[in-house]
Each structure stands twice: as structure tokens, then as C-alpha cells.
Amino acid sequence: MTSPADNPTPSLSAGEEQLAQASTGLVDTETYIDPELVALCRESAADGTVLLRNDGTLPLRGGSRIALFGRVQIDYFSVGYGSGGDVNAPYSWNLLDALRDGGQVTVDGDLAASYTRWCAENPPDEGTWGNWPRYFEEMPLEGEAVRAAATRADVAIVVLGRAAGEARENTLTQGSYYLTDAEKSLLDAVTSAFTHTVVVLDCGNVIDLAWLDQYGEAISSVLYAWQGGMEGARAIADVLTGVQVPGGRLTDTIARSYADYPSAPNFGGLEHNDYAEDIYVGYRYFETFAPNAVLFPFGFGLGYSRLDVVATAYVNDEEVTVTARVSNVGTEHPGAEVVQVYVQAPDGELGMPARTLASFAKSRRLDPGESESLHLAFPIASLASYDDSGATGHRSAYVLEAGEYKVFAGTDVRAATQIASFTLSELRVVEQLTEACAPAAAHPFQRMILDRDDAGRAVVGWQDVPTREVSRRERLQARTVPVLEQTGSQAVTLADVAEGAATLDEFVAQLSHEDLEALTRGDAVMDSPLGTPGNAGVFGGITASLRAKGVPPITTTDGPSGIRLAAYAALLPCGAALASTWNTPLVRRLAAHHGEEMVRKGTHVLLSPGMNIHRDPLCGRNFEYFSEDPLVTGLIAAAVVAGVQEAGVAACPKHFACNNQETNRNLNDSRVSERALREIYLRGFQICLAQARPHTLMTSYNKINGAWSHYNDELCTTILREEWGFEGTVITDWWMQRAVDPDFPAVADDAYRVRAQVDVFMPGGWFDHVSGGFDTTAASSLLDSLARPDGITLGEVQRTARTVLQLVLALPALSEEIIRNSRERSLPFMSSARRERP
């Protein structure tokens, strides 16, 4: 969220810096955080920690003497930057203090004192909006100091940190994707002096790890800590000392070099990016075409004990059921395992990846000698592919092609072994749809496809991407939206609707054009006086007229890593950390307590979860997002949404869709085939919506095949509403681009958006890219268009107003307030404590 005017250059205007919404002035200074939420933050951060390498050095034995290296032990990255991380946490642990506090090991005091003194004298520069640091300069350290520490300590722990964020991409430079010379020198000195060296990676994104091969056995253990929030460092201390086990598994493939990623040639473009790798994102590409380019495979992660998995499968005409017995066959340590089920579909006419994740489940923590049986099931229909070319004879349809389907189970994509197979004797059409969001003929490109050489080996082939055939104009003209006859009555309040004394249609029918228009936008500014201080924006009852009719203001707040207000709130583990748990019940419990904190803090819509696909490791917001895989993304997001909404408030998944880079994100065009769009970039959203039914959804800044998402009727109506059945409220990301509908010139800006069923423009005021200021007084183009015979129709505007009001009635936190306020207004000397705006 937040910046409406990203520059491809790092400098930002004063106006743009205002959009950071940094909550520097606390209004609410209460530091209380629910202890159960604190405990869940710590548990989740530990459960998401991925152990990549271990020779037995970890867990550290009780009483071990350790030497901590790297300034990030003190200046710890608890979260990334931007709207997904700018939370006023009441505290945040660093690793030095966490290890000392844990009392399990002895931290070398002389070395710690040197780092503490140097870090205090050289505080890190946290930068400004979009110009945050990606790393912190290391403390110079002489080799003699390292060798002296080795005489006092048994184990060295080197802490390396990286950050990126909103409007701040990772780059192929030292201090970002690559190690700095100072970090290399530090590793050289430490591995030369110590027999046992542990590396802790405090990073929100995947970075280059090719240097691990250079050090070989000199580096004993590698722990990917991610960014674990305010309790993250304590969680890592727990894992290092064996209080907790490293429960995480990679949700991304870590390749040997950046150039190995299939997105590398088409990432970071200012005007557009061709998604030329098509469906072959992440492990789908590597396992099919380039297995030798993988350093750590998707789903990989070690534990402190050996857990065996024995799986069997049963297949009927509609479903595959897998039973997996997980057993801790070790003798010293507990452990938990993620059972992952993959399917290899036949090549057919469309071509398929070597493996596709079909289901997963995580065992409970098992003590040595304990076992648990897990049951996983998935419909065969979920394996269908989208034919966007008609190659199978069924264009715009999900199909299962004839042939043999192989089922694999194991602990990562590479280790999974075949446990079953089944054969479809003929093609099945699973779902016949219509073309939507296809690439424009004016912007053709080629996509990667599966080919075979003479020996039957998979090789990369290329074909032209199918382009648009359907007339958007004709599609829109065929839609009719019923009109409610305006009554002009003022007798019905929203409280009457909430109590069942009137219908919502009766309420909407009495609204004036001005009331209707106000329901389609926010209150113009962030930190609206109608909401809790520090809010991201308010919509709903933003005018006195609407509030008089009982419509309350709806307060929105970021975000994925905590509630972003002018108040203290819990700083949660970042999205990458949560997804790495592969533990949906745990994520849901954490989110449920997060939802309860929302209620206590007075906010109604959480702008979370962020769930864009990790298409490329350089995307600055990957720390907020979950995975390169849409199933992991969808199920983790569904856990977040379901948990938050247990508290009676709303979650708002974002950014719909293809927000896969920060560079020039407001103007960039994501050019992607229909097949890749549906199978990779939309599937996670579809899974989340089907499983958790979020009340709200946020569009993205970027274009998709030439159409900005906030004007994209095929995305937000054809697919989202008509195909998926979404009935909730769609809001824009903060600020949007002005545009005229290319097929209907009388429909522009807000009218263009409302026609696409993007209900609410947030925060509701226009950003002036020339002056760098905000225009909060300009009349909405919606009313102008509504007055024209060839403009937006009254029925379309009423439809949007109805959707927003349904959100109000659906949230217990708001519907109860509506009824309570109505009853209070009927009593003398009663008034609302809410800050009022005329």
C-alpha cells in the first residue's frame, strides 16, 4: 500500500514521502500486548525457521560458549520496510539480548561489548520512504580479535541481515542480493579460526547462497531466520539452543545463481514485463528443465532428529487420498515434518511441469519414538490445466488430459517418491469458462513450453502467446444492472436493516446521488479524523448525511505484520516466515489473536494478507508474500483470513493481481498468458476466497495485459464475481491512475472503476504527480458520468453502494455499533465519542 507515485529512480518528492504514513506521533501509549499473541508470535517465528545445513553443531549444547559476530546481532531486522512493516511495536528483541536472556549458553562478553560499543557509536541509517537500507555496514574486525574469541568460545555464530520493502527492490549488488566484501572477510576470518561456525540469515527475501559451496564443511550450520517480528530473535535463540525445533520448510527454490531463475531476463522493466516463463515459475521450472541449477529445493528443510515418512495412496474417480505415517526415529530430539504430495500429469497437448504440489500437511511435534498418521486428500479436478489456445479442442476451459498421472509424497519436491498412479482414458472438461484478461494482440510475446528431445528429455520450447479474441465492448453491453427506483424517503436507517425492520434495497433506494457517490470512495486522506488515529483510511459513513442514516465509518489499517496505527501493536513474523511454517492451524491461531487486537484497537478492515507470487527473488515485497507456489499461498492466506474474521472484523487479501515487482509499479504492465494468470497468479486468491470467504479484497497498482487492475472489469467482474462468486467489497490500493474507458468515453476514473465492480477508491483523494500534493476537493467524475445518457448507470452505482453496506452489516463489530448508536440517539443527552467530520 501507500505510495501512489513510485519512481524508477530512488529519489522521492516531499509529497511522496508523506505517504509513508510513519506513525511517529503516538496517540495511544498503552503498551499492553495479549500474552497469548506474544507467545504465538514467538512460536510461529520458530516454526518458520528453515535449517538448511547442519553437521550436528545445532542445537547448541547447554552451557556452550559462543561468540556472536555481525552487527545484525544487535541491529536486528525484525521486519521489512513499507506499509507491511511500519508498526509501532512496544519492543523488539535482538539476538544478542535473546541469547543472553535465554540462559542456555554463555555469550562471549568481550566480543559482545565491542559490537555493542561500535553499534552505539555508528547507528544504522534507517533511510526514508523508498530509500531504506538493504543492509548495515559491518564493524571492522581484525583477525587477531577473531582468533582471540576462538580461544574463549566453542562455536561462532555469524549473523547476516538483509531488508527490502515497498518501493524498494532488491538489486544484484553487494549488500543486497550478494554478500559485501566485509561480510566475506568476516566469514573467512571466522571459519579459519573456529571449528564450528553457524550462519544465521536474518533476511525477508531469498538472497544468493552460492558462497556456501566455497566454504564447504567450514560452515557447520545454516539457519534461514527470515524476519520474525518483535519476538523473532527470541525464537531464533530458542531454535539455536534446542528449546524449539527448526520447523520451517522453503516455500521458494534457492537456485545456484540469479541467472538460473526463469524470470531473470524479464524482471524490473520500467514499462512492462513479459511473463515469458509462463507457468514454469519456481520449482515448476527447475524440476522440469534445470534440476542441476538448484542449491536447495522447494519444500526443503532439516530438523534436529530423523523423521521417517511412509505414505500410501488410494485413488477413485474423483479424489486422491494419501495416508502418511510420520515417525521420529531419532533418540535425542523432538521434531515435526511436513508431508508434501506432488503430481506429475501427462504432457498432453498443453505440456505440464515435472511436479506440481497437490496437498500438504504438517505433523505435530513428535518426541523420539513417537509417530502420527496424517491424512491428505485432493480432488482430481484440482489438477486440471487451463487451455487458453484451444490446443485440446476446448479453448478457455480447465481440462484434464488423457494419460498417466503419477503421485509422489515426501519431505520436499526433490525427495518425494512415487506412491501411486492413475490413468485417465480420455480428456475431461472440468470447467468451461470464457476468455478473460488475455494479452493484447498489439503486445505479442513468446512463452516457455515443454518440449522433448530425441531421448525424451524435457527441453525448453517457445510458442506465441494466444492473444485476445473476445470483444470487451460487446461483453459490457450485454450486461444489465437493475435499477432501484429512488424514493427520496429518509425514513429507513441502517439500524432498521440490521434489526430486520427494513430491507437493504429499501435503504439504498432512498439514497441521493451524492450519498451513493460517497459510498464509493474513502474519506480522501490517510489518518482520517473519522477513524482511529493513524489509520490507513476510512470509507463507508464518510459524510454527515450517511452517518445520520446510521452508516458508520469503516476504519482500515495495514497490515500483514501488525496493525499500523498511532498506537503500540504487536509486530508479527513476516509473511515469508509464516508461510515457511507450512502450518495452517498455527497461522490461523495467530491471526485470530491478531483479529482480537484489531477489535481492541478500534479498526475494522485489516489490509492483509499480502499474497502475490514470488515470481522473482528480487521483488522488494517478497517478505510480505508467501511463496512461489499458489497452493501454499492460497492455504496460508486462507488461514490468515479465517483467523482474523473469527474476531468479527475483516481481512483484505492483496494485491489482486500480478504485483510481482516494485519498480515503477504504478505504470508497469504485467503481460502474462491467460493460462499462467489463472494457474499461477490468480489461483492462490481463488483458493483463499473459496476456503475463507474474505469480506474484502484489494486490487493492485499495475496493469494486467494493458488494463490497470482497478479498472479491469474482466478481472474484477468476469473472473472474481461471475466465475468465483465473490460477493464482498473490492477496494483499490491507495491512490490510482486517472483513465478513460477506451470503449466508453463518457466513463472515466471513478465511473470506470465502479463499472468494473471495484467498489471503493482509497483513500479517496487524488494525488497530483506534477505538484507532489493531494487534491482532496475535486468533484468525483462519477457524478458527471451518472448525469450523461452514455455514462455510468444508476443501477451500477447502487450495486456498489449495496456491496459496501453489506460489508457494514456483515461485520459484527460494525453491525452491533449501528444498533447501539441508534438506541443511544433515541435517548436524551447521549452522544458518540467518535471524532466527527462535517
Residues marked as catalytic: 733
What is the amino acid identity at position 376? L
Exposure b/e, 688-718, CB count within 10 A at least 16 = b: bbebbbbbbbbbbbbbbbbbbbbbbbbbbbb
Nearest to 626 by CA among 700, 533, 688, 696: 688
Q: Three cell numbers at 807?
A: 460489508
Strand ranges (E), 646-773: 650-651, 669-671, 696-698, 703-704, 707-708, 729-731, 766-767
Cβ–Cβ under 8 Å, residues 269 and 665: no
Question: Residue 556 pairs with which residues in a beta bridge?
Answer: 537, 605
178 grid coordinates: 550478494
- List b or e across 36-74, with b for residues whose CB sees 16 or more CB atoms inside 10 angstroms: ebbebbbbbbbbbbbbbbbeebbbbeeebebbbbbbbbb
| Chain length of the chain | 838
- Residue 771 grid coordinates: 505538484
DSSP string over 798-826: HHHHHHHHHHHHH-HHHHHHHHHHHHHHT
> What is the Cα–Cα distance from 756 to 368, expressed in whole angstroms?
56
* In contact, 51 and 223? CB cutoff 8 Å: yes
Q: Which three cell numbers stand for residue 625?
A: 508474500
d(CA 830, CA 838): 19
> Could you tell me where the DSSP H helices lie in 61-202?
95-102, 109-121, 143-152, 181-193
* Whole-angstrom distance, CA of residue 294 vs CA of residue 298: 9
Q: Which of 561, 511, 675 is closest to 77 using CA atoms?
A: 561
Least Cα distance to 793 among 561, 481, 490 occurs for 481
Bond before 657 cis per omega within 30 degrees: yes
Question: By three-state DSSP, how is residue 270 classified?
Answer: coil
d(CA 713, CA 470): 13
Cβ count near 145 (within 10 Å): 16
